[in-house]
């Protein structure tokens, strides 16, 4: 009998092997939230849940969720509501935690977006924040590309001051790095106030250092590109602030974007190339030096927040009255005057009449 058939007659008597079912325990919630909460709006204590919110429109959509413009029907308060899907994915869960934790713990900082409250609904976490008007990225494109104007130095200074104060607060009070500083994450409201937002990839510092390789590549500091596995500190955000302020001042990104799509392009331009510099005569020496200090290539030589807050450019701006509301309103008026009547942009605070 062939060897392969030797035990064939025993096959029918061999019971099937049944493995015990693997026991899985439910993942603990990354954020323990109720399905409704109580918040303070204009000194009133009111309930906040899905049933109290009227969905006006979608503002944006990203990798981890979407943001909608909504109205709290009891008070009429218009807010931005970020809806983030709860998932077992560790990276997304950490992002969700930071999106909730950082604004919640920054309510005393006037330079970060105001947090109203958060609740759990239909497997999503709803994070309710103040509604801003637009990002500085949208704003500078409006000014430079559509109106063919430039942003005054004093206005740029107020944008730098507000962002620097927000970053300083995160570092000093919360021991957190933002790690994604760029014009699209800095917002302006109808009052001309500038505020930092989007804390999904913010990182908590251990011994003042961070390590995770994360962030928007074109804004990364040289040390985060050249040595991505090495530890870095808040001075990497200082570099990103410098790139951001250059971009807003000049109305364009300092590097050819096509060359930054690969790690080789990043190394060639950011690590090996000369750092961007403001050279136009319309900028003061103080302004040029502030951006140059932020864009110091060596991390160890780059200034810390305490040094930047003491810089003469920031001190001058801090002691100079700038009517941001007037400037921003003027920009919107000019832009709307150039649009056809049916294309005029509504104010961010305009809300459709609610049906009772």
Which residues carry a binding-site annotation? 82
Q: How far apart are CA 115 and CA 113, in angstroms?
A: 6
At residue 108, what are phi and psi to the nearest 5 degrees? -85, -5
Distances in Å between the Cα of 28 and the Cα atoms of 24, 25, 85, 94, 352 are: 12, 9, 15, 13, 40
Instruction: Starting at the earlier edge strand, list the strands of the sheet with 186-188.
Output: 134-135, 186-188, 194-196
Distances in Å between the Cα of 254 and the Cα atoms of 139, 146, 227, 347 are: 17, 20, 22, 32
- For the annotated binding site for ATP, the residues are 82
Considering the candidates 180, 198, 233, 237, report the single residue annotated as catalytic: 180
Angle between helices 324-337 and 153-174 in degrees, nearest 10: 120
Distances in Å between the Cα of 344 and the Cα atoms of 35, 151, 327, 336 are: 38, 22, 19, 5
Strands (E), 233-284: none
Distances in Å between the Cα of 276 and the Cα atoms of 89, 243, 279 are: 38, 8, 9
- DSSP one-letter string for 21-86: PPP-PPPPPSS---S-EEEEETTEEEEESGGGEEEEEEEEE-SSEEEEEEEETTT--EEEEEEEE-
Q: Which residue, 81, 82, 83, 99, is CA-closest to 91?
A: 99
Q: How far apart are the first and last CA of the chain?
A: 88
Cβ pair 170, 185 in contact under 8 A: no
Active-site residue flag, 180: yes
Tokens coding 22: 């693997």
Could you tell me the sign of the dihedral formed by the alpha carbons of 58, 243, 236, 164, in that order? Answer: negative
Cβ pair 77, 42 in contact under 8 A: yes
- Residues with a catalytic annotation lie at 180
């Amino acid at each position: 009998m062939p060897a392969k058939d030797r035990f064939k007659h025993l096959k029918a008597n061999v019971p099937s092997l049944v493995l015990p079912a693997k026991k899985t325990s439910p993942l603990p919630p990354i954020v323990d939230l109720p399905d409704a909460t109580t918040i303070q709006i204009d000194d009133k204590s009111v309930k906040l849940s899905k049933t109290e919110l009227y969905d006006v429109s979608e503002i944006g959509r990203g990798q981890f969720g979407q943001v909608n413009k909504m109205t709290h029907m009891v008070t009429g308060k218009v807010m931005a509501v970020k809806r983030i899907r709860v998932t077992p994915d560790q990276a997304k869960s950490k992002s969700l935690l930071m999106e909730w934790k950082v604004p919640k713990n920054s309510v005393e900082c006037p330079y970060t977006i105001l947090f109203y409250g958060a609740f759990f609904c239909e497997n999503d976490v709803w994070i309710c924040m103040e509604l801003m008007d637009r990002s500085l990225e949208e704003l500078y494109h409006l000014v430079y590309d559509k109106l063919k104007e430039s942003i005054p130095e004093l206005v740029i200074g107020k944008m730098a001051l507000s962002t620097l104060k927000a970053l300083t607060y995160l570092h000093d009070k919360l021991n957190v790095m933002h790690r994604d500083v760029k014009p699209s994450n800095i917002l302006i409201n109808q009052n001309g106030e500038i505020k930092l937002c989007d804390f999904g990839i913010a990182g908590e510092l251990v011994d003042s250092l961070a390590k995770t390789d994360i962030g928007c590549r074109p804004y990364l500091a040289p040390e985060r590109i050249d040595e991505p596995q090495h530890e870095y500190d808040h001075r990497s955000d200082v570099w990103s602030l410098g790139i951001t302020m250059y971009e807003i001042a000049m109305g364009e990104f300092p590097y050819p974007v096509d060359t930054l799509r690969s790690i080789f392009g990043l190394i060639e331009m950011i690590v090996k190339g000369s750092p961007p510099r403001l050279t136009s005569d319309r900028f003061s020496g103080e302004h040029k030096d502030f951006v140059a200090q932020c864009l110091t290539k060596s991390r160890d030589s780059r200034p810390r927040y305490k040094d930047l807050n003491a810089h003469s450019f920031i001190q001058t701006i801090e002691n100079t009255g700038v009517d941001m509301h007037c400037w921003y309103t003027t920009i919107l008026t000019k832009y709307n005057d150039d649009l056809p009547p049916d294309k005029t942009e509504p104010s961010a605070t305009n809300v459709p009449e609610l049906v009772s």
